[in-house]
Structure 1
Amino acid sequence: MAESKPTLKPELQRPPGYRDPTAPPSAAPKPPPRRRPLPPSFRQPGKPLPRRHRSRRSCCCRLCCWVSLAALLAAALVAVAAGLAYLWFQPRLPSFRLQSLNATRLRVADQSDGTFLDAATTVGILFVNPNRKIVIEYCDGEARVTVADEDGDVDVGVAAVAGFEQGRRNRTVARFEAAAKAVAVDEVAGGRIREGYKSKEVRLGVSLRTRMGLKVGGIRTGKVPIRVGCGPVSLKQGLNGAVLPLCRFSLFRWINLH
């Protein structure tokens, strides 16, 4: 009887990427060693060492901090200097008052072509400098005199006022004359002005525009425009020797000080 041969099973092909689960895990590859910098003795002569770059943002922040600190310090020094100067000089504002007021002529004439006013006035304004260490300088100015009426003010003359220097603790009276001729007025207003002049109840106002500066020792400040407004007050007040009211005082036409 013939002997039978055992049959061999064909070996299965392993797919790509197959990994035997029974095989021991392979060790992860080690990273290549980091190259160390050479010591100074092995470097090429004349080659500078590598530098670390600082952030531009940090430099800008430091610069802004220094600038802010310097600005605060400068402001503090200015404030301290201003405070010391104020305590030393003790500056005070000047004051103004109508010293005298008179209308030597105030004539209203009715003509065929309208009503006209002729006027001549004399005015004295008292300038008072209350400062003990500050001199006040006034430039040449211009004064305007008006008659106050229910229907509006009527200009009765413009006069030039000479500038002057006012010393410490000084009182100076600036006098001037203003005149106007053939000023057209309303017939009703002209009648009121005529009757008011007879009774000395007509009211006059004065406006003075000039420039003012200060002098402390040998130092002069710049001159600023000022406006002094007085009245209106009646002729009776100006002629009987009564104390006339203080005048209004403003800087730059909008900063009222009195």
Structure 2
Amino acid sequence: MPRETRRALSSSSFASLRFSSIVAAALRFPSVVWGLGFPLISTHRECECILRLEDRNRFLREMAEEKPTSKPVLQKPPGYRDPAAAAPATPRPPPRRQPLPPAFRQPGKPLPRQRYRRSRRCSCCRICYWASAVALVAAAILAVVAGLAYLWFQPRLPSFRLESLNATQLRVAVRPDGTFLDVVTKVGILASNPNGRIVVEYGDGKARMSVADDDGDVAVGEAAIAGFEQGRRNRTVVRFAAAAKGVAVDEVAGARIRAGFRSKEVRFVVEVRTKVGIRVGGKNTGKVPIWVGCGPVSLKQGLSGGTPPKCRFYLFRWINLH
């Protein structure tokens, strides 16, 4: 083939290759091709450089879009307060409203009174102080009145003695089913009122008789006592009878009681429960419970007629008055 022919073919193939590259670049990146201008793209190598540069720029843009732009912001908990932040300013109370001058005030309306806050502690202290003072004054008045009343009436407690004691019947029966005791006793108690201006009043009571034994007391009957009134400087004997039948006792205790009854050495215990009150100047006071205990006293002492033994006198069962 002649040299001119080969040159024509090579120039035509190069031109076609150049044209196809330009067309491909224009179809893929039209903005770049038309932005740079068609005359600037003169060779196939320049077109490939442009394509590689555009691919690199696109890759960098995609990587930049995938990378997070900023860190996630954490939510602050409720009530969180930044220590570095300045303390909030305390709001000032609203200014007091000044009273209007007389020219602008409504006629007949007085000026508002200022209210003063009193401390609760001061109020409680004052209440306690006045209550203590009143209590002390009342106690002093009562003490003076009680002292004057004591000097005027000169009160003394009543006294009790066992006037008489007799066992009219005492029988110990030994049976196959046990030992039984039948007892009938009569008792007289002397009550004395030594007061010259006070009347003593006794309510209804109950008397209880028992036989004292080494193994324990044995109850041998009860009796009711009617209430009565005892005048000034008066002595009254209260009599009652108690009976018991078929009281089961131990065989040994029954033998001791029977032997003591024969020798008059058997001992009895008398207990009386009643209520007592006083009357002064026609006014009665309330009655309080008392307990009178006499014994143990043997039949020999009760029947001797000598000085009667003194009885114990308790107020509310546990306060010993004699």
TM-score (structure 2 length as normaliser): 0.66
**Residue number in structure 1 paired with 2:320:** 256
Residues 57-112 of structure 1: per-residue CA shift (max 9 Å, x gap): 33443333222222221121111111111111111111100000000111111111
Separation in 1, partners of 2:104, 2:255: 111
Whether 1:44 and 2:105 are equivalent positions in the alignment is yes
Flag structure 1 segments of 5+ consecutive residues without an equivalent: 1-36
Flag structure 2 segments of 5+ consecutive residues without an equivalent: 1-97
Separation in 1, partners of 2:317, 2:127: 43
Separation in 1, partners of 2:231, 2:156: 14
The offset of 1:42, in angstroms, is 5.2
**Residue number in structure 1 paired with 2:288:** 224
Aligned to 1:136, what secondary structure does the other structure show? strand
Equivalences for residues 1-258 of structure 1 within 5 A: 41=102, 44-45=105-106, 46-57=109-120, 58-258=122-322
Separation in 2, partners of 1:50, 1:196: 95
Separation in 2, partners of 1:40, 1:82: 65
Aligned to 1:230, what secondary structure does the other structure show? strand
Separation in 1, partners of 2:275, 2:152: 25
Contact 2:205 2:227 in 1 (8 A): yes
The offset of 1:244, in angstroms, is 2.3
Comparing 82-91 and 166-175, the one that deviates more: 82-91
User: Which structure has the higher relative contact order (CA within 8 Å, separation 6+)?
Assistant: 1
Aligned to 2:242, what secondary structure does the other structure show? strand
Contact 2:99 2:111 in 1 (8 A): no
Number of residue pairs matched by the alignment: 225
Separation in 2, partners of 1:220, 1:211: 13
AA partner of residue 151 (structure 2): L
Note the aligned Cα RMSD (angstroms): 2.1
**Residue number in structure 2 paired with 1:26:** none
AA partner of residue 182 (structure 1): G
Question: Which structure: larger Rg?
Answer: 2
Higher strand share: 1
Separation in 2, partners of 1:116, 1:223: 40
Separation in 2, partners of 1:132, 1:76: 28
Residues 147-195 of structure 1: per-residue CA shift (max 9 Å, x gap): 1110111111111111100001110000111111111110000000011
Separation in 1, partners of 2:311, 2:145: 33
Provide closer, same or farther for how the CA distance between residues 38 and 208 of structure 1 changes in structure 2, counting only shifts above 3 A.
closer
Higher helix share: 2
Separation in 1, partners of 2:99, 2:164: 100
Provide closer, same or farther for how the CA distance between residues 65 and 235 of structure 1 changes in structure 2, counting only shifts above 3 A.
same
Provide closer, same or farther for how the CA distance between residues 176 and 41 of structure 1 changes in structure 2, counting only shifts above 3 A.
same
Comparing 42-51 and 221-230, the one that deviates more: 42-51
Separation in 2, partners of 1:157, 1:194: 17
The offset of 1:43, in angstroms, is 6.4
Percent of matched pairs sharing the same residue: 67
AA partner of residue 245 (structure 1): P
